[in-house]
A = this chain, B = another copy of it.
Amino acid sequence: MFIGDIVGQPGRTAVTQYLPQVLEEYNPDLTIANAENAANGRGLTPKLAEMLFDANVDILTMGNHVWDNKDIFGYIEDEKRIVRPANFPKGAPGQGFTLVRAGNVQIAVVNLLGRVFMGDYDSPFVAIDQILEEIGDASRHIFVDFHAEATSEKLAFAHYVDGRVSAVIGTHTHVQTADEQILLHGTAYLTDVGMCGPVNSIIGMKTEQVIQRFLTQMPIRFEVENGPAMLNAVCIDLSDTGKAVSIERIHLK
């Protein structure tokens, strides 16, 4: 089970509101969520991380907003349940993947950033090769949250690792795509899982503020929108060998 970018208070509300029924229905061995926008749309705090762990999320992944909230710097070093993008330059705080017991297997959870329209990170293609070598025999069940903008980079990455990881699920655009599939060599794929956040908003932010920025080109600061929230997630079933058996999109509001 993987839950898309949790955006601010409404995103957290969506998790507490909808996750119990989702967990009951799907009964997943492991629940992962992207938390790069959990704190007011920008980054994550230790307190909010604990809140999400208490809500039965097992592992948190991040994205380009990982360092927006400075409170996370020390915490992320010690907390093995948080994974930040692996392709930051060497020396960044925290870890790029983690191994976790789920059901009767070890699952590796990896977080990577795309570069197209994003930033000057290390190559996610080189990084995944290194990570897979590092994981070696420790796990055959490998989940990748690929946090990226361009559909071309997301699809290229997924085909590059097809058969070598269990799932590549995209995040960052905050809009769920409808292209869930199992690639030719057994990797589950979805271009973007979508966000957890306010339904009537622009990718989680106040509609009026975002429109004003487009109209004026002035540096208007965005705030998280209020109102009813939605949860976007994806449920993936894996075989004992780590191949994907099924992938199903979840959208609740």
Contact = CB atoms under 8 A, between A and B. Distances in A.
Contacts of A192: 177
Interface string A123-136: 10110000000000
Contacts of A202: 152, 155-156, 159
A175 B175 contact: no
Contacts of A207: 156, 159
A238 B194 CA distance: 28
Contact of A151 (B68, B173, B200): B173
Number of copies of this kind of chain in the complex: 4
B176 A211 contact: no
A210 interface: yes
A200 B191 CA distance: 14
Interface string A39-65: 000000000000000000000000000
Interface string A148-192: 011111011101100000000000011111110000100000011
A214 B156 contact: yes
Contacts of A103: none
> What range describes how many residues of A lie at the interface?
35 or more
A115 B123 CA distance: 13
Contacts of A173: 151
Nearest to A120: B115
Given A178-B178, A203-B151, A219 B68 contact: yes
Given A200-B184, A210-B156, A211-B159, A216 B92 contact: yes
A122 interface: yes
Contact of A210 (B152, B177, B211): B152
A88 B218 CA distance: 9
A121 interface: yes
A93 to B, nearest CB: 9
Nearest to A90: B126
10 contacts: A115-B120, A120-B123, A125-B211, A149-B149, A155-B210, A157-B214, A159-B207, A160-B214, A177-B177, A177-B192
